[in-house]
């Protein structure tokens, strides 16, 4: 390459792990800074890209290179800090940098639309009166604020109602006074209105960012963040990729929640990425939860994170009483023991609100022939079909395939076909018959599909218009139901015997989170847990609300078996509509990696995924595990080079999942 020429490296939204070289715009001598949005020729069409760097050399000759067509904005749209964060994140996840760069970016910006015209009035922030903090809260706020100009990660561990949100508000208030921006990440869209309300009540105005907003609203929010016309941003995971002009604090509420992980495409964990961003910006980050992830607890135990605890409820509300209900030898109706039905009845008579938690939607998870034992299974996945009574359909919860309820068994033609087991729908229909005069609300992803219906149902639940609530984990998360007197966990045993090493951690989080919904205001709540394994020591910890002790014990076990956080994992997944191709491809990868790994990384597999067939695709995986991150990342880097070159790799869909949180 001849000297004196600038070559720009541009990130394009394509699934390739590289930047693309372009020459400057013809007859234009201006130097385009990093972060500039440009239009470039690509193949036979044009694309919008972001300049990520420039250099004097290219692997291509000038004749092979094309020139940038045009510049979209007068000044770089992506701040330099964001560009560097994108680079680091793409490196960490071994993901195509262009896809990382455009994560969460509104459509208009991706399409190259001009976006200079924007309302220029700044939001006014006038902090309303703050509560007088309790000693533990004050201690937390003081410590966080003593480190407001440096990278300082905090675990704020506090039971539900202990006043974590008040800590966020008061720390935020101090940061805002210095004209800096504050980002609050929440796991679910349904939790944004509630967090939003509390921040609005305190500060007047906030900006939200999540996927249920219209493209126009998202664009407005993105630009406001970019041009510092907003200072408080509440969003779901992709908000971590917003172009902050002056970020001073990140809060991750319910940091343990699996929704922070994107489970397809670019599989990032917003919590981890947020820590990375705080580190680059040199600002504090608060990870708050009643049931922190074991990874975070480990980081606090080893002193990497400051550990702040709020052990008591902030108001006079007492903790709920936890009761383990032994249901061995019991006859169950719709999954409920007689003793539990009696408890529900008593609570309803006392005019208390009751919540029944079951983590399964639909009528029954199994549909069976009593003549021959045939089970209705999905043709495209290795799983059973869930029976939905109202729709009279058998539905696959993995590929959404549905078919009508059969009249006779396809195998033996018997007509004794029956639903087996329970989901929310069956529980609801049983309770409607048992308690015909009680108002009910069922909250799961079926009942909340229509826009606005979730908000409506939650409102009914909060106002006690519905006295009996039936729900899945949608109900377990973060919502405040001030009238709730009793919570029943219909099936607590699900997580006890799973093959996934995180299942007990998850089950404990779920039970404690659901329990946290009870008795938040005045009445002491009751939490009843139905189980066939009342002597299980893990359930005993949950019963005594001793999450910390549970975590400590399970972490010792993880250390013994060298599982995360005591080692690091990555999955290389491959799938195709033929079972041989993905397995062969991964065998090739495994052989190639084996020769380079030098024993610091163990490579397990290829093995079929726990659910081999899904949506008609056969899925295999290779698990890579290492004590240290560095050799793991070297190996992953090598594997992407191998896969991108591989011929078979073009016929098979493959992806990398760094720090996977589930193996399916
Ligand atoms: P968390 O976020 O930990 O669940 P919240 O911040 O929602 O807890 O606090 C629970 C309740 O206690 C709220 O109604 C809140 O207004 C109240 N509260 C929090 N801190 C205080 C305080 N220092 N004094 C009085 N009430 C408080
Ligand atoms: Zn049959
Ligand atoms: Zn299916």
| Mean pLDDT of the 618-635 span | 94
End-to-end distance of the chain based on CA atoms, in angstroms?
48
Confidence of residue 521 (pLDDT cuts 50, 70, 90): low
Structure tokens at 242: 């917003």
Residues 106 and 222 in one domain: no
pLDDT of residue 455: 87
Percentages of the chain per state (helix, strand, coil), in multiples of 5: 30, 25, 45
Most confidently modeled of 306-315, 511-520, 521-530, 604-613? 604-613
pLDDT at 522: 55
428, 281: one domain:
no
Percent of the chain at pLDDT > 90 equals 73
Statement: residue 376 has pLDDT above 70: yes
Q: 331 and 287: one domain?
A: no
**Beta-carbon neighbour count of residue 315 at 10 Å?**
12
Distance 609 CA to ligand 3 centre (A): 15
The span from the CA of 77 to the CA of 75, in Å, is 6
Question: In the listed set 528, 557, 586, which residue is the last one of a domain according to the structure?
Answer: 557
Same domain, residue pair 277 and 298: yes
Residue ending a domain, among 266, 287, 310, is 310
155 and 283 share a domain? yes
Q: Does residue 284 sit within a domain?
A: yes
Cβ(610)–Cβ(499) under 8 Å? yes
207-209 sheet: strands from edge to edge: 207-209, 232-235, 181-185, 247-253, 284-289, 152-158, 306-310
Judgement on whether residues 500 and 542 belong to the same structural domain of the protein = yes
What is the mean predicted confidence (pLDDT) over 288-312? 95
Mean per-residue pLDDT, 78-91: 97
Contact present, 102 and 48 (Cβ < 8 Å)? no
Mean pLDDT over 230-253 rounds to 96
314 Cβ inside 6 Å of ligand 1: yes
**Mean pLDDT value across residues 378-395:** 93
Q: Looking at 530, 557, 584, which one is the last position of a domain?
A: 557
Residue pLDDT, tens place only, 112-146:
998 865 655 556 666 677 889 999 999 999 999 99
Neighbours of 128 (CB within 10 A): 11
Question: Residue 233 pLDDT more than 50?
Answer: yes
Question: Exposed e or buried b for every residue in 25-59, given b needs 16+ CB within 10 A?
Answer: beeeeeebebbbbbbbebeeeebbbbbbebeeebe
pLDDT score of 583 more than 60: yes
**What local confidence, expressed as pLDDT, does residue 664 receive?**
64
Q: Is 158 in the pocket of ligand 1 (CB under 6 A)?
A: yes
Q: Is the pLDDT of residue 597 over 80?
A: no
Average pLDDT over residues 219-227: 94
Assess whether 228 and 156 both reside in one domain: yes
CATH number, position 455: 3.40.50.300
Distance 269 CA to ligand 2 centre (A): 45
Supply the pLDDT for residue 126.
Answer: 67
Whether 53 is covered by a domain: the verdict is: yes
Categorize the per-residue pLDDT at 253 as very low, low, confident or very high, splitting at 50, 70 and 90. very high
Beta strands in 34-128 (DSSP E): 37-42, 45-55, 70-71
More confident residue, 130 or 461: 461
Residue 195 near ligand 1, beta carbon < 6 Å: no
Closest by Cα among 357, 336, 526 to 433? 336
Instruction: For residues 549 and 574, state if they share a domain.
Output: no
pLDDT > 70 fraction of the chain, expressed in percent and rounded? 96
Please check whether residues 85 and 142 belong to one and the same domain.
Answer: no
Element holding 579 (H helix, E strand): none
Q: Look at residue 140 and give its three-state secondary structure.
A: helix
Residues 35 and 170 in one domain: no
Q: Is residue 464 part of a domain?
A: yes
pLDDT of residue 276: 97
Query: How many independent structural domains does the chain possess?
Result: 4
Report if residue 13 sits inside a domain: yes
Beta bridge partners of 471: 357, 443
Backbone angles phi, psi at 51, to 5 degrees: -70, 125
Question: Using CA atoms, how far apart are residues 372 and 359, in angstroms rounded to an integer?
Answer: 29
Which amino acid residue places its CA nearest to atom 9 of ligand 1?
A: 163
Residue 433 falls inside a structural domain: yes
Q: Name the residue with higher pLDDT: 609 or 189.
A: 609
Q: Is 163 in the pocket of ligand 1 (CB under 6 A)?
A: yes
Asked if residue 191 and residue 283 are part of one domain, the reply reads: yes
Q: What pLDDT score does 514 carry?
A: 86
Query: For ligand 1, is residue 472 a contact (CB within 6 Å)?
Result: no
Domain contains 161: yes
In this predicted structure, the answer to whether residue 218 has a pLDDT above a threshold of 80 is: yes
Q: 3-class SS at 457?
A: helix
Answer yes or no: is 593 within a domain.
yes
284-288, 379-383, 472-476: segment of lowest average pLDDT: 472-476
Q: For position 1, what pLDDT does the model report? A: 44
Among all ligands shown, which has an atom nearest to the Cα of 522?
Answer: 1
Q: Are residues 229 and 194 in the same domain?
A: yes
481, 458 contact by CB (below 8 A): no
- Of all ligands present, the nearest one to the C-alpha of 480 is 1
Q: Is the CB of 392 under 6 A from ligand 1?
A: no
Q: How far apart are CA 35 and CA 407, in angstroms?
A: 62
In a domain, 378, yes or no: no
pLDDT over threshold 90, residue 353: yes
Q: Where are the alpha helices (DSSP H) in 285-400?
A: 294-301, 338-349
Shortest CA distance to 185 belongs to which of 306, 283, 273? 273
Q: 572: Cβ–Cβ under 8 A, 6 or more apart, which residues?
A: 586, 589, 621, 622, 624, 636, 639, 643, 654, 655, 656, 657
* pLDDT surpassing 50 at residue 553: yes
Q: Is 130 in the pocket of ligand 1 (CB under 6 A)?
A: no
pLDDT value at 3 more than 60: no
118 close to ligand 1 (CB < 6 Angstrom):
no
| In the predicted structure, residue 449 carries a pLDDT above the cut 90 | no
Question: Ligand 1 centroid vs 451 CA: distance in angstroms?
Answer: 31
Task: Label residue 525 by pLDDT band (50, 70, 90).
Answer: confident
Residue 470 CA, ligand 1 centroid: distance in Å: 26
Q: HSE-up of 569 (CA within 13 Å, CB side)? A: 19
Mean pLDDT of 394-411: 93
Q: Are 619 and 578 in contact (CB under 8 A)?
A: no
Q: What per-residue confidence (pLDDT) applies to 2?
A: 47
Average pLDDT over residues 379-388: 93
Task: Check whether 599 has a pLDDT greater than 90.
Answer: no
Which pLDDT does position 118 carry in this prediction?
60
Q: Say if ligand 1 is within 6 A of residue 162 CB.
A: yes
Report residue 80's pLDDT band, with 50, 70 and 90 as the boundaries.
very high
Q: Per-residue pLDDT tens for 266-288?
A: 999 999 999 999 999 999 999 99
Q: Which domain holds residue 61?
A: 2-110
Q: 31: domain CATH number?
A: 3.40.1440.60
pTM: 0.93
Atom of ligand 1 nearest to the CA of 290: 3
């Amino acid at each position: 390459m001849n000297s004196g020429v600038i070559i720009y490296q541009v990130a394009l939204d394509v699934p390739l792990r590289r930047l693309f070289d372009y020459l400057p715009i013809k007859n234009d001598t201006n130097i385009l800074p990093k972060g500039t949005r440009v239009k470039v020729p690509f193949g036979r069409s044009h694309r919008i890209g972001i300049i990520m760097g420039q250099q004097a050399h290219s692997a291509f000759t000038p004749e092979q290179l094309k020139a940038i067509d045009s510049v979209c904005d007068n000044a770089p749209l992506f701040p330099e800090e964001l560009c560097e964060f994108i680079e680091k994140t793409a490196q960490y996840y071994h993901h195509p940098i262009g896809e990382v760069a455009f994560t969460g970016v509104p459509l208009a910006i991706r399409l190259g639309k001009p976006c200079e015209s924007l309302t220029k009035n700044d939001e006014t922030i006038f902090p309303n009166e703050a509560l007088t903090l309790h000693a533990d809260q004050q201690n937390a706020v003081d410590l966080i604020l003593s480190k407001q100009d440096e990278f300082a990660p905090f675990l704020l561990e506090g039971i539900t109602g202990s006043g974590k949100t008040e800590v966020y508000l008061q720390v935020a208030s101090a940061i805002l006074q210095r004209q800096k921006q504050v980002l609050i990440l929440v796991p679910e869209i349904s939790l944004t209105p509630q967090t939003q309300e509390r921040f609005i009540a305190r500060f007047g105005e906030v900006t939200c960012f999540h996927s249920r907003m219209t493209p126009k609203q998202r664009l407005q929010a993105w630009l406001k963040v970019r041009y510092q016309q907003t200072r408080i941003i509440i969003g779901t995971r992709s908000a971590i990729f917003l172009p902050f002009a002056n970020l001073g604090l990140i809060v991750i509420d319910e940091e343990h929640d699996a929704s922070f992980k994107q489970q397809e495409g670019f599989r990032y964990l917003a919590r981890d990425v947020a820590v990375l961003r705080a580190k680059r910006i040199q600002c504090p980050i608060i990870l708050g939860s009643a049931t922190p992830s074991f990874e975070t607890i480990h980081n606090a135990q080893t002193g990497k994170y400051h550990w702040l605890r709020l052990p008591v409820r902030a108001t006079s509300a007492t903790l709920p009483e936890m009761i383990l209900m032994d249901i061995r030898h019991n006859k169950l109706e719709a999954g409920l023991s007689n003793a539990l039905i009696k408890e529900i009845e008593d609570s309803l008579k006392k005019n208390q609100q009751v919540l029944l938690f079951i983590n399964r939607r639909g009528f029954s998870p199994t549909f069976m022939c009593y003549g021959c034992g045939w089970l209705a299974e999905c043709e495209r996945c290795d799983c059973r079909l869930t029976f939905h009574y109202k729709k009279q359909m058998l539905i696959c919860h993995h590929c959404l395939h549905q078919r009508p309820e059969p009249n006779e068994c396809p195998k033996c033609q018997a007509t004794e076909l029956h639903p087996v087991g329970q989901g929310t729908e069956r529980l609801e229909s049983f309770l409607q018959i048992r308690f015909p005069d009680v108002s009910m609300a069922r909250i799961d992803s079926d009942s909340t599909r229509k826009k606005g219906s979730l908000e409506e149902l939650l409102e009914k639940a909060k106002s006690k218009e519905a006295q009996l609530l039936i729900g899945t984990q949608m109900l377990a998360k973060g919502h405040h139901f001030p009238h709730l007197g009793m919570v029943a966990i219909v099936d607590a045993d699900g997580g006890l015997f799973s093959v996934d090493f995180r299942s007990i951690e998850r089950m404990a989080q779920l039970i404690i989170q659901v329990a946290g919904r009870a008795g938040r205001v005045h009445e002491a709540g009751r939490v009843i847990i139905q189980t066939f394994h009342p002597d299980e020591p893990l359930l005993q910890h949950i019963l005594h609300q001793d999450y910390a002790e549970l975590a400590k014990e399970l972490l010792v076990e993880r250390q013994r078996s060298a599982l995360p956080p005591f080692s690091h994992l990555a999955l290389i997944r491959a799938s195709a509509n033929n079972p041989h191709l993905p397995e062969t491809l991964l065998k090739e990868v495994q052989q190639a990696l084996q020769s380079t790994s030098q024993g610091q990384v163990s490579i397990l597999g290829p093995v079929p995924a726990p659910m081999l067939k899904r949506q008609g695709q056969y899925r295999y995986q290779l698990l890579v595990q290492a004590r240290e991150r560095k050799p793991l990342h070297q190996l992953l880097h090598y594997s992407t080079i191998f896969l991108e070159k591989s011929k078979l790799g073009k016929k098979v869909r493959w992806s990398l999942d760094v720090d996977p949180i589930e193996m399916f």
